[in-house]
Amino acid sequence: MIRKISPIVLVLSLLSVPGAYAHFGMVIPSDDIISQGDPRQITLRLMFAHPFEMEGMPLEKPAAFAVISGDEKTDLSGKLKEVQALGHKAWEAAYTFKKPGVYTFCMEPQPYWEPAEDCYIVHYTKVILGAFGLEEGWDAPAGLKTEIIPLSRPFGLYAGNVFRGVVLLDGKPVPNCEVEVEYYNQDKKYTAPDDAFITQVVMTDADGVFAYAAPRAGWWGFAALNTSDEKIKGKDVELGAVIWVKFHDME
């Protein structure tokens, strides 16, 4: 059933949501490929933000933060230190690589109440890094409630490459799922000609697969959105499967 909304209510709703852009959980490392000769320690910054507009929101200490490599999962929650990022509470952790492998860093945040959308938001966020040339396992699930499994290797990508992924919810592919795509616009270097360009949107196909060609080098976030079957305090919960992928210029 289509609910009719009066023009006055619609205008007031729009006025009450300044900068109503897409939300993204963010896990941004200081390096995306750790090569021989690189520093073995990186810093990971955890945020909640509108990445293109560089507008932050407070991120309470995550419910979980871990790294997975092969069959090993290591809790990193104890390494988190509170910092300020984009004017709000954020978190940082240092991590030292000791052996070659593929490393998946995963964050489960505390539920975030968004009054403008009258719902809670929980974005399960991950980033996948390669260390010292070993590349096996970049397509392995992390076992999150919802996640994007890359079908393109999620590192060593050029700007213009197509990134493909499959959206999982409770371990099953999600067909016809909306995936929001946004650029981490550090230093606010770029402007959008219209608000419609800020958040790109693609849909998964019948097998839960989506594709997107990143037009510019830098960090790009992909957020697949679904509504949880469970509520918090009687309110809907938006579940986001978020993955961050870096694209590079070809020199």
pTM: 0.91
Phi-psi region of 187 (alpha: psi -120 to 50; beta: other; left: phi over 0): left
The domain total for the chain is 1
Confidence at residue 187, expressed as pLDDT on a 0 to 100 scale: 86
For the cut 90, the answer to whether the pLDDT of residue 2 exceeds it is: no
Specify the residue for token string 């016809």: 176
For residue 211, how many other CB atoms are within 10 A of its CB?
Answer: 14
Give the mean pLDDT of the chain: 92
Q: What is the mean pLDDT of the segment spanning 154-177?
A: 97
The distance from CA 173 to its chain's CA centroid, rounded to whole angstroms, is 18
17 domain residue, yes or no: no
> Which residue do the tokens 């490392």 mark?
29
- The residues pairing with 96 across neighbouring beta strands, listed in sequence order, are 41
In a domain, 231, yes or no: yes
Concatenated DSSP letters of 60-121: PPPSEEEEEETTEEEE-GGG-EEEEETTEEEEEEEEE--SSEEEEEEEEPPPEEETTTTEEE
- The number of CA neighbours under 13 Å toward the Cβ of 84 is 2
More confident residue, 217 or 20: 217
> pLDDT tens for residues 76-98?
999 999 999 999 999 999 999 99
Q: Is the pLDDT of residue 52 over 60?
A: yes
In a domain, 224, yes or no: yes
Residue 7: inside a domain: no
- Under the banding of pLDDT at 50, 70 and 90, the label for residue 218 is very high
Task: Identify whether 14 is part of a domain.
Answer: no
Task: Specify if 9 maps to a domain.
Answer: no
pLDDT band for position 15 (cuts 50, 70, 90):
very low
Domain of 218 in residue numbering reads as 22-248
Residue 176 lies in a domain: yes
Position 159 in a domain: yes
Q: Which two structure tokens, joined as six digits, stand for 46?
A: 């955890």
**Is residue 215 predicted with pLDDT exceeding 70?**
yes
